[in-house]
């Protein structure tokens, strides 16, 4: 498995509207705008972009989708400021064609970990996020952090 995304990415000001829940949505929020490509292109994120270029296959998919997940969460709710995301925190991830699926992920915001699940579709070359949907769950009790290797701070 790839390592979790650990450095917060610097986001350029978004020109589009944030993710919105479809009117007939179950509980997943379908993104109406995608942010990872633009965020990674920002000169302040050169190190993250170069690290991503060194990865291939499932590891690249996971890290690209982790970056999109953190951006989507922050654009969805400004009071969340994700600085870490672990796609496999509470359970395994899976890949179905060009879709990366993390039903048991966790993200950290302001020193608190939260459950999140997401589905991240990629282009056929696996270099760009093409679709994204997510659902943020409850805060993870601190007593469970060590069991799932969720660091309290960097």
Q: How many domains does the chain have?
A: 1
CB 39 within 8 A of CB 67: yes
Whether the model clears a pTM of 0.85, i.e. scores above it, the answer is: no
Q: 3-state DSSP: the chain helix, strand, coil percent, rounded to 5?
A: 30, 30, 45
43 located within any domain: yes
Residue 21 lies in a domain: no
User: Where residue 57 falls among pLDDT bands split at 50, 70, 90?
Assistant: confident
Q: Over range 61-86, report the average pLDDT.
A: 96
Q: Which has the higher per-residue pLDDT, 7 or 114?
A: 114
Name the β-bridge partners of 112.
Answer: 109
Residue 78 lies in a domain: yes
Residue 77 lies in a domain: yes
Is 9's pLDDT higher than 60?
no
Closest CA to 85 of 122, 25, 18, 140: 140
7 belongs to a structural domain: no
pLDDT value for 23: 41
- Using a 10 angstrom Cβ sphere, with 0-12 exposed, 13-18 middle and 19 or more buried, the burial of residue 14 is middle
Give the residue among 117, 129, 107 at the shortest CA–CA distance from 34: 129
| Domain ranges, residue 119 | 29-148
Q: Does any domain span residue 117?
A: yes
Determine the pLDDT at residue 26.
56
In a domain, 125, yes or no: yes
The pLDDT value recorded for residue 27 is 86
Amino acid 21: pLDDT: 44
Provide the pLDDT confidence category of residue 152 given band limits of 50, 70 and 90: confident
Q: Are 98 and 121 in contact (CB under 8 A)?
A: yes
Q: 94 pLDDT exceeds 60?
A: yes
Mean pLDDT of 60-87: 96
Assess if residue 82 is contained within a domain: yes
Work out the percent of the chain whose per-residue pLDDT is above 90.
68
Q: How would residue 99 be classed by pLDDT, with cut points 50, 70 and 90?
A: very high
């Amino acid at each position: 498995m790839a390592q979790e995304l650990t450095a917060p990415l610097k986001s350029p000001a978004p020109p589009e509207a944030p993710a919105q829940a479809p009117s007939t949505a179950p509980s997943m929020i379908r993104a109406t705008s995608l942010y990872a490509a633009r965020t990674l292109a920002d000169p302040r994120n050169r190190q993250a972009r170069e690290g991503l270029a060194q990865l291939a296959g499932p590891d690249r998919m996971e890290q690209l989708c982790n970056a999109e997940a953190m951006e989507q969460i922050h654009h969805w709710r400004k009071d969340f400021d994700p600085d870490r995301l672990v796609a496999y925190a509470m359970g395994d991830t899976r890949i179905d064609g060009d879709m990366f699926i993390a039903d048991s992920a966790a993200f950290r915001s302001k020193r608190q970990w939260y459950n999140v699940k997401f589905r991240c579709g990629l282009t056929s070359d696996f270099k760009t996020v093409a679709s994204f949907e997510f659902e943020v769950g409850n805060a993870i009790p601190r007593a469970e952090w060590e069991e799932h290797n969720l660091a309290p701070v960097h």
